[in-house]
Chains A and B, each alone.
Chain A
């Protein structure tokens, strides 16, 4: 009996084996050849929590913290746990209505499910935080979650320090392998940007296990794969916060910039770009509103004018052309030139000079004689030994570039402009192959195509102060714990101007610049008992108004260093459209120098001067126009809104009247009501006709 059909027993065994082989094959496929399942499992279950280290703190030269970290609070809610919330109290505290509350809750649940916690109100103000903290027991499911934020204790140096912003996709693309993620913050301007790597520190990553509802269950493998965070490094600046604050005070309600450099180190002592803004505006809950406001301001407060604007340097450039002239031997210190009101060398009567008379080199600088330096410049370009204006200009530019002009200096701040040293090919395009010195004579007095940033001008002052060398200007003096990324190496290299320039030439220029302050153009800005060397500049400028280039009030320039022996500060100031250099820039610079050298402004007269300049409002005409336009646009918009509201009210009331009149036919008014706002005037006419027609038909 048992032998019956026994072969089929084999078949059944083979079927068993075959099915198991199929199962094992699929298991091999799933467990070995499908890494996607392993990845899917990781993304399912392992939550990589990024632990943010504290960002580095930024200190000024006297170890006062300019930018540090603070704790801010977010109101965070887990909707599934928020039962029996005292909604009314919460809404009153947050100043929202219950409809808004419900809307936010709906959005949160839609975006992030009800079991996970989401931010209900970010970046609470301190008062709001205090009020909420008292009442938290009334809001189950809500917690106050802290987060780190930046704070600027001195409310100053906004453009230097910079600010953080949430990274965008472009940033992520550029910094692919640096561990940034969507939602991270990174410095986007100023030092926060340049030293991002240093300040950021190293993020830690904690791996946590989460369940199918994204609730965290504890650490993965007891933290075996976690990495610890490393706090960001602190920066020590050469900046002097008191000087910076004074500069910002002096430049209030003006447009312009101040840069002061320690000539011995190249360290920036202050860098003011006016108008500036309170950097703390860009941290709290009103942040985006403030950014919008600032970005739309016609005075461009986000622009760092010290490095982001190119200016014609004006007469301050005479120091450079003078040094080149002396070095090349086209003049010497005793060379005199006479001015009868204008430079006659080119026959155009341009440029004019302010003081008539005969000047030697020193006096020419002291009185800023245009004729003298036009003569110098013309002599350089016309020097037969160079073989033509092209190569003469090249020689000139070679000198100028050793003064740090025409190229980026390489300061540790983003978006530095390089200025401009015009080259011969540029002039060939304009004046043809045979251009000559008279075409470009205005360069001699810094008025032509020569353009510098204010930083470059301050650096030129430092070079003259040092008699021929400089360190690249920089804001950061040292990094706590070492400069791992070699970011400060460039600032330790001493740069020399052309070695052919002997100290005697610098002495001659310094003599002239001392005379400027002692009895020359800037005599009014003399600081008692301090030997300051300076040079004023008054720069003609034009602006496009209603499509026409119109001459504007001159820019006021001043470059200086002090004291003459063993100089400790080199400074450059521009005050846009403030007139002659001596009127605004020179006094401001003198106050700054005094403050830095003496730590205070001495004497009532000087104090009064300080207050006078702090109060002065010199907003360029173009910007005033733009601001007025903006304000009036705002006003127009407001009046339009008001008119609309009034119109509406009127319409409503007329509707009511109509209804009162024609209460037999209440369905008639709505269609007419709709047509009113579309094309007010023309439709109104038709409207009346229609009404008439209606009445007629009704009466008929």
Chain B
């Protein structure tokens, strides 16, 4: 054992460790910027454990301990327990429905005592990544088969469905990131293309008048038929395909989208999505409101995103400087230490700071992809892609939300946002990857 430990410490990818440490440090500094009050002794408050930044420092310490434990563990443990942990995670998520505690309107927490709460959906990201890796590493898995594809998708989305019912749609959305992994492992690209097209269609439905959009769609279909008229003479099937695509598009635009907004989403979610494209959503149409399951009277309000954009915009090229951001000091951005942490960084360090910061993230992601590609075992590779996808998805959704490109949804910025659960989850994800990578010469199943 001691031999393997020595070899593994040598083969640990220290670059990722340093990037991890750097990002965590940036995170603590950002929280410090948000919470700082002039005139207080910052040394004192850092040690006191009462402020959020000092708490985050403690969380970081805990994460270091956990990381050391993970690096000292045997990689085979993860393959061995992958399915079991996944099952355990699902059970925990079910358990929240019975013993769960409601925090901020989402019943997704399990009280651990001592003021700590556990969010199983967070942990489940790790378990899902492991389980997915385990599934792909099975010898009998042939992902070109529909059955395997369905199982893969199910493993990925089961926790998401449970999260949705816990009113934690941010977390649920994070599980969509596994589609990137599935794509890498051979999921037909059409699904991604269809997904993207569907997204564009939904946005177009929101932005354009229903009739205008219908006319545009029809025009596209006719133009396509006109250009493909020679091919069509030979192959009638393509004509059928085009017409059915047209029919589906119009159907989605006419019926599916309003249905989703009125019946699937809750009022505030629809409102946020509508407000992103600059429109008001009429909550009285909402199914949840008419049923009376939701409190009525939430005003359509883009205060959060407006303040967030103001804070980011006020940073300009070089930013206002560390601790000098007026918007951060004035606490204009709500939830700035958690979901909107990026605004404090953007205000203080400006565009230059943002680009450097995003560069660090991108570097981390590419490094993880590179690590993934050098694995000999499928398990490690799939797991590595899962980690990259999860981190990527969180970054994208969180930052796009703060800059007004995505509706507001509670999703943390990896390693930066305040929050023990989130920091711990990402630490575990990354350090398991490093542990697996240290043993990249082994074939793990």
Contact = CB atoms under 8 A, between A and B. Distances in A.
A221 B320 CA distance: 11
Interface string A1-21: 110111011011101110110
Interface range on chain A (Cβ under 8 Å from partner):
35 or more
B190 to A, nearest CB: 14
A9 to B, nearest CB: 6
A153 to B, nearest CB: 45
A9 B365 CA distance: 12
Interface of B: 38, 180, 183-186, 307, 309-317, 324, 326-327, 329-332, 346, 350-351, 354-355, 358, 361-362, 365-366, 369, 372-373, 375-376, 378, 381, 385, 388, 392, 396, 399-400, 403-405
A209 B326 contact: yes
Given A9-B369, A13-B366, A41-B327, A32 B180 contact: no
B365 A30 contact: no
Given A23-B399, A45-B332, A1 B378 contact: yes
Given A27-B354, A27-B403, A8 B309 contact: no
A217 B328 CA distance: 12
A677 interface: no
Contacts of A15: 180
Interface in A348-377: none
B382 to A, nearest CB: 11
A420 to B, nearest CB: 62
Nearest to B381: A2
Nearest to A36: B313
Contacts of A217: 38, 329-330
A31 B351 contact: yes
A2 B396 CA distance: 27
**At the interface, is chain B mostly helix, strand, loop or mixed?**
helix
Contacts of B312: 27, 30-31, 37
A12 B180 contact: yes
B295 to A, nearest CB: 24
Interface in A625-675: none
Contact of A23 (B358, B365, B388): B358
Interface in A191-222: 209-212, 217-218, 220-221
Contacts of B346: 27, 31
Sorted nearest first, the 7 A-B pairs with minimum C-beta distance are A37-B313, A41-B314, A45-B326, A211-B330, A45-B330, A30-B313, A31-B351
B314 A37 contact: yes
Contacts of B381: 2
Contact of B316 (A9, A12, A31, A36): A31
Contact of A44 (B326, B372, B396, B403): B326
Contacts of A9: 184, 369, 372-373
B184 A38 contact: no
Given A13-B366, A46-B326, A31 B350 contact: yes
B403 A26 contact: yes
A93 interface: no
B38 A41 contact: no
Contact of A45 (B329, B385, B403): B329
A260 to B, nearest CB: 59
A11 B369 CA distance: 11
A24 interface: yes
A177 B329 CA distance: 32
A28 B330 contact: no
Given A16-B392, A211-B329, 18 more contacts: A4-B186, A6-B373, A15-B180, A16-B365, A19-B396, A20-B358, A23-B403, A26-B405, A27-B346, A30-B309, A31-B312, A37-B309, A37-B314, A41-B310, A209-B329, A209-B330, A212-B332, A217-B329
